[in-house]
A = this chain, B = another copy of it.
Amino acid sequence: MTFSGTDTSIPMDDRGLAYGDGLFETILVRGGVPTLWQHHLSRLRRGCEVLGFPCPSLTSLEAAFSSLKTSPNALNVVKLIVTRGSGGRGYLPPIEPQPRLLVRHFDFIPQQDRWEVVNRVRLSPLRLGHQPLLAGIKHLNRLENVLARQELMHANAARHHGSEYVEGILSDSNGTLIEATAMNVCWYEKGKWFTPALTSCGVAGTLRAALMTAGILTESSLTLLELAKVEAFCLLNSVQGVWPVYTIDDECSKPLWVAQPSPLHLSLQKAAHCLLGYEE
């Protein structure tokens, strides 16, 4: 059952609404062709396995792109939401769930200025909880991200000087670096790029996955106390690309890590933007 961009509503008994019982993917689409589609599909299918309901057919998923009326070089973002479908009152899932696929289309322009400027980020006071069962998948239980993003908005509103924070950095209850509110993170150390292993929390982004597959990014672990050894730091996701970061402030907006602008991120960024079709 697909509700497409032309539909405007979903049934009130949908379990995605009731319990966040579903998954989503946010896909960069260039001239009607989805980028990193195999990585999105792979994460969506893994999510369905974890939650225990069947993934919609490839045909129904790919119809989301063919229904998009667009010119050859136009950029869009297509958001797919897959829920467990309708259900009764109570947490018990229906024995034979009929997943619901929702499709939304958005025009899209990446924030290209952030590919080059001296981006600042701020550590979120929110610490991500550990739930290994749900780590990595892009499920609909995203209140931690919403609260962290909201807190960042308030922090930006309270700033009287200096540029705004472009993202909030999320660590877990152990003080281990995990992600940003809507992006993954990576750091450069002794000649290599690393990204947090997301076994206890966080969303495993598709650009992160593609760069790992390409051997450009390796999973590792970094606590906030170890930031001093980081030589370069970037944010990344599959719609915005790679943003270099030169300042990480703490929860009180005091500097935690500062780097001089450098070209260290350029090769990573070039590889990433090539995957997304952002190369010049």
Contact = CB atoms under 8 A, between A and B. Distances in A.
Interface of A: 3, 7-21, 24, 26, 51-52, 77, 79, 81, 83, 89-93, 102, 104, 106, 126, 128-131, 133-134, 139-150, 153, 173, 181-182, 201
Do most interface residues of chain A lie in helix, strand or loop, or is the interface mixed?
mixed
Centre residue among A90, A128, A146 by max chain B CB count within 10 A? A146
A27 to B, nearest CB: 12
A148 B17 CA distance: 18
A88 to B, nearest CB: 9
Q: Which 8 A-B pairs have the closest CB atoms?
A: A20-B20, A129-B129, A9-B9, A141-B141, A129-B131, A19-B142, A91-B149, A17-B17
B182 A142 contact: no
B81 A146 contact: no
A206 B23 CA distance: 30
A128 B134 CA distance: 11
A195 B104 CA distance: 44
Contact of A89 (B26, B90, B150): B26
A102 B10 contact: no
Contact of A133 (B3, B92, B126, B141): B126
B145 A19 contact: yes
Contacts of A17: 10, 14, 16-17, 81, 83, 102, 140
Contacts of A144: 131, 133-134
A130 B133 contact: no
A21 B129 contact: no
B7 A12 contact: yes
Contact of A150 (B10, B52, B126, B147): B52
Contact of A10 (B9, B52, B93): B9
A89 B148 CA distance: 16
A11 B12 contact: no
A182 B91 contact: yes
Given A90-B182, A130-B129, A133-B126, A143 B201 contact: no
A142 B51 CA distance: 12
A148 B19 CA distance: 13
Contact of A19 (B104, B126, B143): B143
A91 B201 CA distance: 17
Given A24-B18, A134-B143, A182-B90, A201 B129 contact: yes
A47 B111 CA distance: 34
23 contacts: A3-B12, A8-B12, A9-B11, A10-B17, A13-B104, A14-B17, A17-B102, A18-B140, A19-B140, A20-B141, A21-B143, A26-B89, A89-B106, A90-B149, A90-B182, A91-B182, A92-B149, A92-B153, A93-B153, A128-B131, A129-B130, A130-B173, A141-B141
